[in-house]
Structure 1
Amino acid sequence: MKFGCHLSIKQGYLGAAKQAVAMNAAAFQYFPKNPRSLGVKDFNKEEAAQCKMFCMENDLISVSHSPYPSHLVPHDEQKREKVVDSLLNDLDIAEACGSMGVVVHFGKPLNRVDPLTSYQIMIQMLNDILQHWEGKAKLLIENNAGVPGSMGTTLEELVQVRSLCQYPEKIGFCLDTCHAFASGLWTGDNWQEVLEKGQALGYFEELQVIHLNNSKYPTRLGKDRHAPILGAGFIKEDQFDQLIKTPQLQDIPFILETPKEECPHEREIQLLQEKWGSVE
């Protein structure tokens, strides 16, 4: 199993990769730039190339996460242009660092009375971004954490958005376990149902990364509050066991976004490796 966590790039992209290896992680996630900015970063390409080489030499997987303001349903034209430029910049950085792709949030509806408009904007956004992108790094759409029925909470939506885009080969998926639990997609007791549905839809064929997070709230409440995996969260150990031992997920990196003040990520990775590291 490939366990890792989100790391800071305070010491650069290469510094984050070296920190991951020091933690005995098999993967890591990073913000390519200021996580609260949609600005375009003039990054150090030489340092990014060193990160890519270091990851290759150490069999280390990396994935980028777009800044918080990035999502695929912008509320006005000015925001749309900024998001397009920012995500292309994120893809450039991810490609230079040898990362598999850039995780991006699904987005929220502009108008709950007319959800179709939001999906149309989202698909046009993806086309506008990906028509200019020729690299190997993919945009990885993450499932939302809303209450049941909210936009971006079902596998059907994710697969359909990808299929309606002009460049589906440039799009993959990121499954967040806390988001899935919050939305009722995965209640903790229905993993086999989720797996069968995902296989039928072709979702798991395009799944590139899993955000491995527990939840501080019960399922179906729509609350996105992360908790340590092996702790007091509402997703129980035997429920994670079913998910992590799924054969279709054996080559996918599991990235922790859990509160490190409650359990340091280095310690949490060690615990995960002790329990599930030998799963094949």
Structure 2
Amino acid sequence: MGGIRMLFGCHASIREGYSGAAKAAKAKNASAFQYFPKNPRSLSVKDYDREDAALCKAFCKEHDIFSIAHTPYPTSLTPRPEKQKLTVKSLLNDLEIASVCGSAGVVVHFGNPISSKDPLAGYQLMIEMLNQILSRSKEHCLILLENTAGYPGSMGTTMEELVQVRSLCQHPDRIGFCLDTCHAFASNLWNGDNLNEFLKKGEELGYFDHLKAIHFNNSKFPAGSGKDRHANIFNRGFITEKQFDQLVNAEPFRNLPFILETPSDEGIEDHEEIELLIHRWGMLQ
């Protein structure tokens, strides 16, 4: 009797190029990976190796490997005025690179508040930025909005916000979601014990219809802590194996890639953790 083959992976360096990142992921027995399309600490526009990016796409297609890109750390959808043009150029560059690499999308963190007097200002700027970027981009890959890890009630911690921002943009079909399990736990969106409520709300809002990837991380702090500190899945985290079992087996997640962003220097390396994930959940019935 057959089952569902789950996709597990990790972050991969582009030190040896985009095709090198794909090959490194395969060497770790990963069926999915994430990468920074350029220097993760800069918004500079990269004149990338198009041939190498095309080789990455071909390699992933040949070996049935899923990939997503992640914007550099300084990227914000609510940047200061002097950073807005640079941010638009940088994200257009990220989308182009990811598209040539054959990636499903580019993960972008949800924005931050920009005005204590006007709580809607941050959302309005996000929508303006997304409209600018997507009206100029001709690439097929998506912008994937990621939930944030703030305290409950912080900007970007609810599915309602994510869905609403997407729906108010001029090109909602070009926007999807990436769910970070540590962030969800930190913000009490999913606290390990409210899965049924979480699933019901996500289905009602249509959130799961546009969820494309999972950042699969445990949390070094309890639910509702607001702290973005990732832990390994089976080691030193506050999310239990039983709680992960329930999440992974839930219907909306059974065909999605789970990509680790966990520490590789705390007793377990990426390839070892991927093997544990495959052993535990590699084939669901």
Q: What range describes the TM-score normalised by the shorter chain of this pair?
A: over 0.9
1:46 Cα shift? 0.5
Q: Output the amino acid matched with 1:19.
A: A
**Given the alignment of the two structures, is residue 221 of structure 1 paired with residue 225 of structure 2, yes or no?**
yes
Of the three residues 258, 276, 281, the one matched with 1:276 is: 281
Secondary structure at 2:13's aligned position in 1? coil
| Aligned residue number for residue 60 of structure 1 | 65
- The equivalent residue for 1:150 is 154
Q: 1:79 aligns with which of 79, 83, 87?
A: 83
Number of aligned residues: 279
The DSSP-based 3-state class of the residue aligned with 1:115 is coil
Equivalent-residue separation in structure 2 for 1:59 and 1:91 (angstroms) = 21
Q: What SS class does the counterpart of residue 174 from structure 1 fall into?
A: strand
Partner SS, residue 102 of structure 1:
strand
Contact 2:22/2:33, CA 8 A, preserved across alignment: yes
| Other structure's SS at 1:140 match | strand
Task: Indicate if the aligned counterparts of 2:150 and 2:226 stay in contact, CA closer than 8 A.
Answer: yes
Tell whether 2:109 aligns with 1:112.
no
How far does residue 124 in structure 1 lie from its aligned partner after superposition? 0.4
- CA–CA separation in structure 2 for the residues paired with 1:253 and 1:54: 18
Partner of 2:10: 5
In structure 1, what is the Cα distance between the partners aligned to 2:71 and 2:78?
14
Alpha-carbon deviation of 1:221? 1.2
1:130 equivalent in alignment to 2:129? no
Q: Which residue of 1 aligns with 2:3?
A: none
Please, what TM-score do these two structures have when normalized by structure 2? 0.97
Establish whether residue 24 from structure 1 lines up as the match of residue 29 from structure 2: yes
User: 2:111 touches 2:123 (CA, 8 Å); kept in 1?
Assistant: no
Which of the residues 173, 178, 181 maps onto 2:182? 178
Deviation at 1:260, TM superposition (A): 0.7
How far, CA to CA, are the matches of 1:55 and 1:195 in structure 2? 31
Give the alignment partner of residue 191 of structure 1, picking from 189, 195, 201: 195
Instruction: Please report how far the alpha carbon of residue 135 of structure 1 lies from its aligned counterpart in structure 2 after TM superposition.
Output: 1.7
Q: 2:55 aligns with which of 47, 50, 56?
A: 50
Q: Does 1:96 align with 2:100?
A: yes
Query: What are structure 2's unaligned runs of at least 5 residues?
Result: 1-5
Cα offset, 1:236, TM superposition: 0.5
| SS of match in other structure, 1:181 | helix
Whether 2:39 is the aligned partner of 1:34: answer yes
One-letter identity of the residue aligned with 1:3 = F
Q: CA deviation at 1:134?
A: 1.9
Q: Distance in 2 between matches of 1:139 and 1:47?
A: 22
Q: Shift of residue 70 of structure 1?
A: 0.6
Cα RMSD, aligned residues only? 0.7
Q: When the two structures are superposed, what TM-score results if normalisation uses the length of structure 1?
A: 0.98
Aligned letter for 1:55? C
Query: Residues 117-150 of structure 1: CA distance to partner in whole angstroms, max 9, x if unpaired?
Result: 1111010000000001122100000001000100
Report the CA distance between 1:192 and its aligned residue: 1.3
Q: CA deviation digits over 1:146-204, x for unaligned, max 9?
A: 00100000000000000000000000000000000001101110111111100000000
Of 234, 237, 245, which aligns to 2:238? 234
Q: Following TM superposition, by how much is the alpha carbon of 1:248 offset from its aligned partner in structure 2, in angstroms?
A: 1.7
Structure 2: distance between partners of 1:192 and 1:232: 25
Q: Look up the equivalent residue of 2:278 and give its one-letter code.
A: Q
| Overall identity of the aligned pairs, in % | 61
Q: Does 1:167 align with 2:171?
A: yes
Tell me by how many angstroms 1:111 deviates: 1.8
Amino acid at match of 2:100: A
Alpha-carbon offset, residue 113 of structure 1? 3.2
